[in-house]
Amino acid sequence: MLRINIALAALLLLLTQACSIPPKAKGPNSKPFVVLKLDDLWQEDGLVHAGWQQVVDFLNKEKVTGTIGLVCESLEKDDPAYFDWIRQRQQEGYEIWHHGYCHCRSTVEGVEIREFRGADYAAQMKHLKNAQDLASEKLGITLRSFGAPYNSTDEFTAQALAQIPDIKVWMYKETQAPTDKFVIQRIAEVNIEYPVHIPDLEKLKAGYEQFKDEPILVIQGHPRSWVEEPKRFETFKQIVHFLKAEGVRFTTPYAYYQLQQASGQ
Ligand SMILES: [Zn+2]
């Protein structure tokens, strides 16, 4: 009987010990970071396009972080209400990023020249720096991330960017030219709009399923294009709700860069 009791006690002890072994340490949150790369802010309609206002109102209500691609020529003319609108977004957590000076393109002798693809080094340098200086002087904001208009760049863009150390992150770098910037690449299959300007929930879901193991997804959209057809904005809202339900971590390019620096990667 004693022997059985000892055996029972040993068994109980074993069980207790088994239960007290700490569970395997949980890995880091495996959900991807998501950057809402929203393009093309400039002054219009007396302040900003209605598409921008409705996106900001929605994201604020949802407590979702967005980013705003600013075309900096719009800062040339002093407009306190417009400047305040941008600064307010920054205070709310949006990252205001460098989306060129003019967002312009022209055709010279049958060849299309884009702001950062095809223009010479001096012109690209001037546009990059003008934009950076305007944001600093007019808004008091140091732009930290760059994404080219039309996502078009070349080796001169890389060289010119190297002269602006305040810019740390380059979104959607397409040129093969080397850079010292932190690059966040585009994954064409995961996007807000398919094709450009038209949000598509089902395609976003399919792309997300395929690439949700990536550390970060930068998905691009154009809020100004979501007003003319209300369904477009409704679809964008559904996309945000879907991503929230998935538990993704919304962030900004510069915040993500800082996180990577802090973790030594
Ligand atoms: Zn653009």
pLDDT band at 23, cuts 50/70/90? very low
- Whether 37 and 147 have beta carbons less than 8 Å apart is answered as yes
Q: Looking at residue 264, what is its pLDDT?
A: 82
On whether residue 125 sits in a domain, the answer given is yes
Number of compact structural domains in the chain: 1
On whether residue 243 sits in a domain, the answer given is yes
On whether residue 17 sits in a domain, the answer given is no
Q: Looking at residue 144, what is its pLDDT?
A: 98
On whether residue 171 sits in a domain, the answer given is yes
How far does the centroid of ligand 1 lie from the alpha carbon of residue 245, in Å?
Answer: 29
Q: pLDDT tens for residues 193-242?
A: 999 999 999 999 999 999 999 999 999 999 999 999 999 999 999 999 99
How far does the centroid of ligand 1 lie from the alpha carbon of residue 149, in Å?
Answer: 4
How far does the centroid of ligand 1 lie from the alpha carbon of residue 11, in Å?
Answer: 69
Q: Which domain holds residue 57?
A: 30-262
Q: What mean pLDDT do residues 65-88 have?
A: 98
Indicate the average pLDDT of the chain: 92
Q: pLDDT tens for residues 115-159?
A: 999 999 999 999 999 999 999 999 999 999 999 999 999 999 999
How far does the centroid of ligand 1 lie from the alpha carbon of residue 99, in Å?
Answer: 7
How far does the centroid of ligand 1 lie from the alpha carbon of residue 61, in Å?
Answer: 25
How far does the centroid of ligand 1 lie from the alpha carbon of residue 41, in Å?
Answer: 8
How far does the centroid of ligand 1 lie from the alpha carbon of residue 9, in Å?
Answer: 72
Q: What mean pLDDT do residues 256-265 have?
A: 91
| pLDDT above 90 (res 90) | yes
C-alpha to C-alpha distance for 178 and 75, rounded to whole angstroms: 30
Do you find a cis peptide bond into 28, omega within 30 degrees of 0? Answer: no
| pLDDT above 50 (res 25) | no
On whether residue 12 sits in a domain, the answer given is no
Give the Å distances, CA to CA, from 197 to 99, 192, 222, 235, 257: 17, 9, 6, 12, 27
Q: Looking at residue 216, what is its pLDDT?
A: 98
What CATH number does the domain containing 170 carry? Answer: 3.20.20.370
Q: What mean pLDDT do residues 84-101 have?
A: 98
On whether residue 185 sits in a domain, the answer given is yes
The number of angstroms, rounded, from the C-alpha of 132 to the middle of its chain's C-alpha atoms is 18
On whether residue 3 sits in a domain, the answer given is no
- CA max distance for the chain: 103
